[in-house]
Amino acid sequence: MARKVIDEPSEEIVAAAKKDRAAKRGPFAGIILFLKQVVAELKKVVTPTRKELLSYTGVVLVFVVIMMALVWGLDQVFSWVVIFTFGTPAA
C-alpha cells in the first residue's frame, strides 16, 4: 500500500510569503483587514442567557468575597507579626 506524501511548505517559505503579502498591502489595507477580522470575531460572540448571567455573577461575587476574606486574614496575621516583632508605637 502506497503512502500519501503531502508536500507541505517549510516555515521559511510561509514566512517569506507572509512578508511579501504584507509588503504589497498598503497601510489602509492593513487597517481594513484588521476591522474585517474584528467583525468576524464579534459575530462569534454568544450572549449568555439570563440564567447563565446570574450564575456567572454569583460565581464572581463569591470569589471576590473569598479573596477579600483571604486578604483580610493575611493583613491581620501580618499586623500581629509586626506588632509582636516591633511592639506598639509610642504615642
Q: Residue 24: pLDDT above 90?
A: no
Residue-level pLDDT at 48: 93
Residues 6 or more apart whose CB falls under 8 angstroms from that of 56 comprise: 48
Mean of pLDDT values over 34-52: 93
CB 39 within 8 A of CB 31: no
Residues 6 or more apart whose CB falls under 8 angstroms from that of 25 comprise: 33
Q: If you average pLDDT over each of 4-8, 12-16, 42-46, 69-73, which comes out highest?
A: 69-73
Residue-level pLDDT at 71: 98
Mean of pLDDT values over 62-71: 98
67: phi then psi, degrees, rounded to nearest 5 = -65, -40
Residue 30 vs residue 76, higher pLDDT: 76
CA distance 14 to 87: 67
pTM: 0.53
